[in-house]
């Protein structure tokens, strides 16, 4: 019996540790050949010397289990290094079929205290990093489609966050980058559908080096049960979205953690107001909008995570 991803090749960025590692191992378990990308810096803020060790260790773990894998030390936020990453997958495995964008860093601070560099560095790694790899993967699939005279196989799985959905006061850079990734995902989904390529995004909740502070109060079970925040709860969804079975899922956003998968809807209209004249005046807007908001509880929040009952705990 063939495996779901047998004969396919994949790139997973930020795959040396945590969530990316779990995703790379899952794709390999399902039959994919994997390029394990990681810049290998020791600090979750992007500090420290680059090291091939994390990526090499995961690639070796895949090979030891009988799979095919190659490590790539590179910064996906660098345009040329992202090109080299996609070229490596194509040259090593003959083609690229799946791209999982996971690499990221954190530099948390309140918006009134954040420096320009703290803003730029997080936007660069998360949002530009997603764009760079997507750009070169999309060009590869477009050329293959032209040569084939029809659709080819392609899957993109991007990593957003509940920080975008529900807000995160101390992470304006991270929340903005993750919101941008959703916009990139939906745009890419529309642009590449005719070539046979899908693009979806996940908002994972997992205990990793990036989230160790967030989940510090949530203890790991001591009775042998799998931690509800283990990355292994997220990786099966990535495996599914990388597979042929997910062909009709395109431009979608999923929240996933601890045995739960939520398919998010696009924003819906909450209220609509029409002017009685040709153009709204300040007075008319005041008469319509102020009572609308005054009628709502003062502490009301529109955080999607809370509406869906997805608050931590």
Structural tokens at position 279: 């153009």
Q: Pairing state of beta strands 253-257 and 197-204? A: parallel
d(CA 188, CA 198): 8
Alpha helices in the chain (DSSP H): 18-29, 53-64, 79-93, 116-123, 129-148, 162-166, 172-192, 235-241, 282-294, 304-307
β-pair partners for 260: 257
CB 33 within 8 A of CB 93: yes
114 C-beta neighbours (distance < 10 Å), count: 17
Residue with tokens 């909740």: 205
| Long-range contact set of residues 109-116: C-beta below 8 Å, sequence gap at least 24 | 109/170, 110/169, 110/170, 110/172, 111/172, 114/172, 114/173
How many CB atoms are located within 10 Å of the residue 293 CB?
Answer: 10
As given in the structure block, the two tokens for residue 271 are 């209220």
SS3 breakdown of the chain: % helix, strand, coil, rounded to 5?
45, 10, 45
Identify which of 216, 128, 106, 256 has the alpha carbon closest to the alpha carbon of residue 172.
106
**Which positions are annotated as active-site residues?**
161, 174, 178
9-12 and 69-72 beta bridge pairing: unpaired
């Amino acid at each position: 019996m063939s495996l779901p991803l047998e004969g396919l090749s994949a790139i997973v960025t930020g795959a040396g540790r945590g969530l990316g590692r779990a995703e790379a191992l899952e794709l390999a378990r399902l039959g994919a050949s994997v390029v394990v990308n990681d810049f290998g810096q020791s600090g979750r803020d992007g500090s420290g010397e680059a090291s091939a060790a994390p990526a090499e260790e995961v690639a070796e773990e895949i090979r030891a289990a009988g799979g095919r894998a190659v490590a790539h030390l590179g910064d996906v936020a660098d345009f040329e290094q992202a090109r080299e990453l996609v070229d490596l997958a194509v040259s090593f495995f003959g083609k690229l079929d799946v791209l999982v964008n996971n690499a990221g860093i954190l530099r948390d601070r309140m918006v009134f205290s954040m420096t320009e560099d703290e803003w730029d560095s997080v936007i660069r790694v998360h949002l530009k990093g997603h764009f760079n790899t997507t750009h070169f993967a999309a060009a590869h699939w477009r050329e293959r489609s032209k040569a084939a005279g029809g659709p080819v196989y392609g899957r993109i799985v991007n990593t957003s966050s509940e920080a975008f959905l529900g807000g995160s006061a101390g992470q304006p850079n991270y929340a903005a980058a993750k919101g941008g990734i959703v916009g990139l995902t939906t745009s890419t989904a529309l642009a590449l559908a005719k070539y046979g390529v899908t693009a979806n995004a996940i908002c994972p909740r997992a205990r990793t080096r990036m989230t160790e502070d967030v989940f510090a109060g949530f203890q790991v079970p001591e009775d042998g049960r799998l931690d509800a925040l283990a990355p292994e709860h997220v990786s099966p969804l990535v495996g599914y979205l990388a597979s042929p079975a997910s062909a009709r899922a395109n431009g979608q956003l999923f929240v996933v953690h601890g045995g739960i998968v939520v398919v998010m809807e696009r924003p819906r209209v909450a209220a609509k107001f029409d002017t009685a004249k040709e153009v709204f005046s300040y007075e008319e807007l005041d008469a319509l909008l102020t009572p609308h908001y005054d009628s709502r509880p003062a502490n009301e929040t529109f955080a999607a995570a809370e509406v869906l009952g997805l608050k931590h705990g």
